[in-house]
Chain A
């Protein structure tokens, strides 16, 4: 039953608008702050309208860097973050696809054991195994490298489980038709299974890209050189607590820049993402 009542229409919208405002307002303030000069922000009377320093602030943030703490411009760090997030997302998807393919389509000894071992790693996120993982990465001379930054984060049970569930819904007849059509296992994987999983892959890509982009603890541990730092760490480093003046306008510009790629990924892949999570049609 659909009731058309003004109040019932109005109330949910009001609640939703309040919710959106609560989420959006800090972002708006951050953006505004990134368009004023340091003095205006520091004296506590920053207006809620865009200021005149937009181009200057963003130019400094991306290409020059702050005058004090971090010496690298944010452009480099964005590139670092992008490489890290992409490697993690693509690596996770590639490894998960292959391991799910092995677990679902091949009968090998200890198949279920292999599956359960993958499953158990769900209980071992980086935070839990951080010391041994650090030790291994350090021993392998992978500190301050992209390999050290990404490889320990790539192994993924979540994506393996998702792809396994998806593969199990693919009708057996497709495998059999492929066999009769002369496609071997890898050809079936590349020609049929991966194209069919494209929406799940997109969904996984969005989730894992954001996961990779937002990594804080692991890059903090593993990187010591400024030119290997990621943007999420940069924000923290820009906020100086002691004597020096924090260049808030640049910190805010960095925060806004750090938000952009995940937003972009979600916006661009939204359709596929939603399809990948809800689609039942094969």
Chain B
């Protein structure tokens, strides 16, 4: 068993800054867990604590059945892929992959077998004798992955591994990482700030903010039922429309249990449609900008002519002129309500 369990893990830096404020997570054996959040939310610190590169200030971290708080990184049976790859520049690709095994006293023929197998899987066989600097970014990325998989660790840790690649390569490598992880069925923790990467890769998606877990669960659950305003605004591109409702509420909108405080309404751009008639929620917009991305288009409009900006996704490329007035309607089941005071979901 190689599940990873974090129990109220905290990280306090010597200056008193609390980077991680009590995170509890369970990552099942073979699961792909993605930590996502804005810069400085503590996701990388959390990953580095699992790796053993940062000390744990409070709580416990266990891999399998073993608590690893005081275990050296080399003895935790983990492998890590770094953002800048951290390949040893003076070693050949082969030696880069073999180094960790050699340090552990693996027999030579076993090392050779594993390195060649990893090289075959990752298609870096032709470059085994080259130095990392003679490789392209994508190839270096593969070598870094190879260095991780030859060790056959219990847990893979990825620290924003794709952020140094160009957009096309990033999508390609994303798919490959997913396939590889499926094939090897190794528990993985993956840190990224790219919510699209997070959505597509994760079995369990963990949204972090200010050192705390906002919500953890299946990506679609987070998308469909975000439990905080932060998650609602973070997951999804273009982002969810968030409107501060007047205390009196919008006409025609009824909540099962009316909240006491002020309410924020969230509607995803794809849940709005243009309509001539009034729906249960009707928004009158003045178009301020349009974006055609091919199969679909985004309309940016000001609510009521000068109010907050609303994004509407429409299929096709039939775009309204800027300055025209439109009406967008939404179904009641697609509305998200949040308390503005606590940030929590109300419906």
Contacts and interface: CB of A to CB of B under 8 A. Distances in A.
Does B bind A? yes
Interface of A: 171, 173-174, 176-177, 179-183, 187, 191-192, 195-196, 198, 281-282
A281 B90 CA distance: 12
B100 A181 contact: yes
A180 B103 contact: no
A193 to B, nearest CB: 10
B86 A171 contact: yes
B89 A177 contact: no
A181 B97 CA distance: 10
Contact of A176 (B80, B87, B89, B103): B80
A180 B89 contact: no
Task: Tell me the dominant secondary structure on chain B's binding face.
Answer: loop
A174 B104 CA distance: 18
Given A187-B103, A281-B133, A180 B80 contact: yes
Contacts of B88: 174, 177, 191-192
Contacts of B51: 176, 180
A196 B79 contact: no
A281 B132 CA distance: 12
B78 interface: yes
Contacts of A191: 88, 99
B287 to A, nearest CB: 48
Contacts of A198: 90
Contacts of A195: 90
Nearest to B75: A182
Interface of B: 51-53, 72-74, 78-80, 82-90, 99-100, 103-104, 133, 147
Given A181-B74, A181-B100, A173 B89 contact: no
Given A173-B86, A176-B51, A183-B103, 6 more contacts: A177-B86, A180-B53, A180-B73, A180-B74, A182-B103, A196-B89
A179 B103 contact: no
Contacts of B133: 281
Nearest to A176: B53
Contacts of A187: 103
A275 to B, nearest CB: 13
Nearest to A192: B88
A282 B73 CA distance: 25
A180 B103 CA distance: 10
A192 to B, nearest CB: 6
Contacts of A174: 86, 88
Contacts of A192: 88, 90
Given A179-B74, A282-B89, A173 B103 contact: no
A179 B89 CA distance: 16
8 contacts: A176-B73, A179-B74, A180-B52, A180-B74, A181-B74, A191-B88, A195-B90, A198-B90
